[in-house]
Structure 1
């Protein structure tokens, strides 16, 4: 079987200027990074304000399983499918993090014949955006410690520094560290730690910013520590926001690439969906909406995380109004939700599919709470039987949501045209009545409870009194109108990754809250979720290498 990387390497890519012309972007408005990728200039984007917006289509999925769901592959395939039926379409997805690439999850460019290219560059250094974010974040870290070293004029309490360092590598040994050892020349010893770059508030700020001025304002608003009198210290108090913005100047400009079928694709930003808000940048999405009639985007992990944050954070903050949601499922993943072991997925098991459909049904129910029409995409695998596919279609239909079998992985756009036609028809209608599931003025704890009970279907939400007191204090400081960003496992509606299907009666424990004042949300960390992942027992890095021809192998 031809691998994803072999398919991508054989692609006949067109010059990036030709891809830009499809959207009305001239060569003068592109900043090329080689022949097949470019950034769209800030000046061109500024000139798009006031244009009529295209239709926005969100692709999300059931809870991820080791069997695979193919959300990004479906996003790419649907974009190609819309273009194939004559629509002016564009795709918006996130950039790939090196941590998962060399860990367990793999890349973020799609798969099979529904990929964005250049696949290798996208999954590695790409245009350097993540490196810029890492550098800007750690510059601020250095400036905090440097300020303390030279007298601490801001009276920062060393016990209340909340700004950690970041690295775009899964490295569990760096979760908790002590810095400043070695005596007076090296500063003051203190406990700190590292998060993965995609969990950085700098990443969130970049992905939610409208322009450079907005980005600098957000960076300056970030709270990095507290004084001895418990008042907050912001990044601008350290005069760090200007230099950080300089480092991020180019990174803020969206990246333009293409699919295997030459559909324009914006690939920009990459906040994680389980520990951040999980969507590509607002600038990329708004740029695409101003240039294309249909924009297909995705939100990370399952709909309980990615879609909820897309609606309640990104759409709320950016004033976006989605017109349709595509919910991706596979027969294999539904069988796993129905209790079938991964090794046994090849055997037909209609009963397990029906049982696992409870997970699909829960997501359909949840998405409808936001007032947006839902269509199910069954991402086809070669071993799926007709009876199993029919069971999924019947289940979706019984819940008022049509389901389409999609073969884009194997066939490209021609394998998904039926879904594309249906989605375009729905998006062109007026069925969508989008609204977030909680108002801005709702107290922070009630927002957390709302998501946990209405989306996760938890019976109870628990937190230590100090967490409730912290939320109340932030409300008194003027942060009560912020949305909440729930950080939990992506594998289950609960905080236990082993509880598949559609569990009920569970409790969601909130063990920590963090204020992201620059990004504009409050993070609620639930269960055992980590902001710095670790590598698996056998990381993907062990099989990634260069062959004798100097080509990358093992990247997926």
Structure 2
């Protein structure tokens, strides 16, 4: 029997009107702004009226370091939300929106998979409700206004060599990493070197995902530092006069999007900062709204727990006053084999020894997550090639680390395949055993915060940073930014900065190539190793196999 593709399953789904999904959470029809029949935005006015309601339980889904074997973190997030509803709990999920860059590159979309998906899958993975376009437009409006200010006399005295604000687009395009603008003569302004980042790396994206309402959004936008004068004084977005117009462009994008799972359960899909070059979590406003409307909220953080979960704890929870009640750590037997040294082509045959060796990566993540004071349950995302002996090896290893591993078959069976995990997670979350605390205090010096993450999460021996980087951090501390958290921009494939170093390496060094101040978002970005803020496409991008069939249906999305 052939296995249906994700897009085939999604296409065959019987969607219910979005008003019916909103009613499950008590959202009146008048407070839903519909985008067609199957998706809607939740009005800011309705959200503002929820402040005095108690919060539900917050469950974070994270994963081991991603491998080509696949982990299924979003699939597990969606499946767990369906599973909790199936056992009689009132649950909602909160995930990020998909970037067009990975969709047409190699990573694919962000709607889950199999019978644990969010629908409409095609629209969610493409233009959706236009949020990313609004963010791109707002970001580039500011870019245009900076160059325009300089063209018309530069009253603020901007040093053209010290403009830090680049441009963005929601696509992987390595040719735009470094560009020159203003060529072609006097009418086109002053020539200078700049470049593009991908939209999900934009500070505007981070700001939208951390802002609590429109007033907070505009204030944060105004604090963005876009350039410096010759005297090294910062120039902000508010100085340029762009924050009001940018807020107008983002007014609708600020409202969370409501859609549904294949089993017709509510899903908030909003925001999408990358986890390896930004903080990797869905919006604060979507998560806090869901917590007021549901008894259990299942959310995820991007890539492995060393990136997404660390930033969820140290940035999102810190800034939003949130605390997770339980963490689900997703792993697969196949990924354990790869971490144990098995090539992707050889993952089929049973190899218990490789599974045991590869479990070191899983164990490291369990230890790290527990250091935040939260209980951890491991979800073994089941593949048909998994053997009983291999599964038993993972479960025994996890038990030795004071946790438990539960086999989940949600990809194939939907909520029926994940009920055991749902019952255990609800039990843990209700048990109130979590004593959450971030990894470092606000008043710790910036470089020490970087060292704390590098040594305690990555298990590095040292952080390598030249005098220029250290001096920049000291200057920001002197300017009043020393209390900000740190957002590490690092490869997702390893605890180290070497993507080929799998397992649980220790004793390595973490080189800091550059630091950037995101004053509006409220964190300092430390760029490690060779990480790029504008990804490139692979040799054979997914776009080569995406198209429309004779029935007018989209094919090739995954």
Q: Same fold, TM exceeding 0.5?
A: yes
Q: Where on the TM-score scale, by shorter chain, does this alignment land: which range?
A: over 0.9
Structure 1 partner of 2:40 = 38
What is the CA-CA distance between 1:52 and the residue it aligns to?
A: 0.2
The CA deviation string for residues 207-246 of structure 1, in whole angstroms up to 9 with x for no partner, is: 0000000000000000000011110000000100000000
Alignment of 1:264-343 (within 5 A): 264-343=266-345
Superposed CA offset, 1:381-420 (max 9, x none): 0100110000000000011110000000000000000000
Give the distance between the partners of 2:219 and 2:52, measured in 1 at CA. 23
Is residue 149 of structure 1 aligned with residue 151 of structure 2? yes
Distance 2:143 2:211 in 1: 21
Question: Which residue of structure 1 lines up, in the alignment, with residue 116 of structure 2?
Answer: 114
Separation of aligned partners in 1, 2:196 and 2:231: 26
Cα deviation, residue 513, structure 1: 0.2
TM-superposition CA deviations, 1:274-309 (whole Å, max 9, x none): 000000000000000000000000000000000000
* Corresponding residue number in structure 2 for 1:260: 262
How many angstroms apart in 2 are the aligned matches of 1:80 and 1:411? 11
Q: TM-score, normalised by structure 1?
A: 1.00
Secondary structure of residue in 1 paired with 2:239: helix
Is residue 129 of structure 2 the alignment partner of residue 127 of structure 1?
yes
SS in 2 for 1:424: helix
Deviation at 1:429, TM superposition (A): 1.1
1:21 is aligned to 23
- Map 1:228-247 onto structure 2 (within 5 A): 228-247=230-249
Asked if 1:99 corresponds to 2:101, the answer is yes
Shift, 1:430, TM fit: 1.6
SS of alignment partner, residue 313 of structure 2: helix
Matched residue SS, 2:253: coil
Superposition pairs of residues 397-476 of structure 1, within 5 angstroms: 397-476=399-478
What runs of 5+ residues in structure 1 fail to find an aligned partner? none
Q: CA deviation at 1:50?
A: 1.6
Matched position secondary structure for 1:188: coil
Give the CA deviation at 1:332: 0.5
Match of 1:208 in 2: 210
Alignment correspondent of 1:225: 227
Q: CA deviation at 1:471?
A: 0.2
Q: Does the residue aligned with 1:522 lie in a helix, a strand or coil?
A: strand
Within 1, Cα distance between the matches of 2:520 and 2:151? 25
Q: Which runs of 5+ in 2 are unaligned?
A: none
State the distance in 2 between where 1:185 and 1:382 align: 64
Partner residue in 2 for 1:492? 494
Q: Secondary structure at the match of 1:163?
A: coil
Tell me the distance in 2 between the aligned counterparts of 1:333 and 1:133.
Answer: 35
Stretches of 4+ aligned residues off by more than 2 angstroms: none
Following superposition, the deviation at residue 98 of structure 1 comes to 0.1
- Partner SS for 1:433: coil
2:389 corresponds in structure 1 to 387
Matches within 5 A, 1:353-392: 353-392=355-394
Distance in 2 separating the partners of 1:69 and 1:387:
19
Deviation digits for residues 490-516 of structure 1 (CA, Å, limit 9, x no counterpart): 000000000000001100000100000
Q: Distance in 2 between matches of 1:195 and 1:388?
A: 42
* Distance in structure 1 (CA, Å) of the matches to 2:52 and 2:136: 33
Aligned length: 556
Cα deviation digits, residues 459-482 of structure 1 (max 9, x gap): 111101010000000000000000
What is the TM-score normalised by the length of structure 2?
0.99
